[in-house]
Amino acid sequence: MAVAVFGGTFDPFHKAHKNIVKTLVNQNLFSEIYVIPTGLVAHKVSDKISFSTYRLEMTRLALAKYPQVKILDWEMQQDCISYTVDTLAYLREQILDDRTPIYLVMGSDSLLQIESWHKPQVLMNEATLYVAKRPGQGPELSLDKHKTHLEERYGARVEFFDLKPMPISSTMIREQIKAGMTDEIAVPGKVKDFIVRNHLYRDTPLEDFSHEQIQTLRSYERQLMRLMGTMRLIHSLNVMYEAVRLAKRFGVDPWKAALAGLLHDVAKEQDYHEYPEVLERLDKDTLANISIIHGPVGASFIQTMFGIKDPAIRDAIYYHSTLSPVPTQLEKVIYLADKIEPARDYQDLGPIREAALYDLDKAVLLTIEGTSRSLRSNRKNIHPDTLKARDYILKNKDRQAMPSDS
């Protein structure tokens, strides 16, 4: 039985995308339907595309109820530009046998542009072009004429299927969200909940970063996809965005905040015992709390795996769970971003998030107070470094509040 392949940016995955998949399912022509979010693309507009993990999770949420749908993150895992012909080759070599027919699902606009795609002859040798025709959209004569042209020149196999038109675009949805019109967006319910929970598309805190910086962050994200689960990586991306917002607000280097935010949990799902040289340097209070050891291990990890040697970034990751006794502004930003990123739903976060809009130290102190209260309720002690950091911040706030002698 044949398989269908449906690729796209899916930023976000909306109801028109789901309509295509539902139509394919109802046709009962395919044993499996492979939905493949794009990875790197060959133009700078890729800087504006959401990070892969967000797009992958939205796609999964939208299609969870269809057992014959397989969502592949293969393109997202690649360190090079994604070409459809390479994806088909991967499917053929790693998943499918040589006899399984592949139907490449596309819109009529893609059919008209197929000759500009990478290695079009190889692509058309490998797959049947399965083209959605929307009644009333565009002259059918030009499609039929182009179909004949492709068949004669490339030996292509082109088939059409009817698809109910839905005037929806991802661009329109992103603009609606940015304008505060989230209630009106045409996305599946679980996708909408995900967008709202993680504050996607509301603002663009990374817009001042260069193309090279954005690509560096995407490269690190691909490496993190191999080191941690999806929910942990979504949290890390949220912390990155929140850290950049805070950094811009309080005069901290946004690039350092982005790196430390994205990588702060890099060692969270690693086996700490593989890093004895780090463990042997830790004090007894840190060793006694398994939930914070990933900070020191991660600070070492980013140097060996990512080549990051900046001590300010390493310290921000090292102390992101506790703060250092004399915390820097960057350390405060990462500590706070980890606690207040949008998906967090701890009790009493409202006052902390409000304070974070105008007073970094006040927000940090409120966070320490809440953490201490929570630990006491569970009969645990707060880390001594956190208490020293609290006292240091309070001392400096008192000093700033004192009237001058002049």
pLDDT tens-digit readout, 166-218: 999 999 999 999 999 999 999 999 999 999 999 999 999 999 999 999 999 99
CATH number for the domain running over 2-184: 3.40.50.620
Q: Is the pTM of this model over 0.85?
A: yes
Say which amino acid occupies 43: H
Higher pLDDT, 170 or 43: 170
170-196: b or e for each residue (b if 16 or more CB lie within 10 Å)? beebbebbeeeebeebbbbebbbebbe
Amino acid 48 reads K
Span 109-122, pLDDT tens digits: 999 999 999 999 99
The single residue listed with the structure tokens 């929806």 is 168
pLDDT at 136 over 70: no
Q: Examine the pLDDT at 404 and tell me if it is beyond 80.
A: no
How far apart are the C-alpha atoms of 183 and 129, rounded to whole Å?
Answer: 36
d(CA 35, CA 30): 13
Predicted confidence (pLDDT) per residue in 60-104, tens digit = 999 999 999 999 999 999 998 889 999 999 999 999 999 999 999
How is the chain split into domains, by residue range?
A: 2-184, 211-401
Tell me the percentage of the chain whose pLDDT exceeds 90: 81
From residue 103, how far is each of 34, 69, 96, 217 by CA, in Å?
A: 10, 14, 13, 34
Contact 365, 335 (CB under 8 A): no
The reported pLDDT for the residue numbered 398 is 67
Buried b (16+ CB within 10 A) or exposed e, 328-364: ebbbbbbbbbbbbbbebeeeebeebbebbeeebbbbb
Average pLDDT over residues 46-59: 93
C-alpha 28/C-alpha 26 separation (Å) is 5
Decide if domain 211-401 falls under CATH 3.40.50.150. no
Q: Which residues contact 205 (CB under 8 A, 6 or more apart)?
A: 241, 244, 245, 248, 254
Residues 6+ apart with CB under 8 A from 359: none
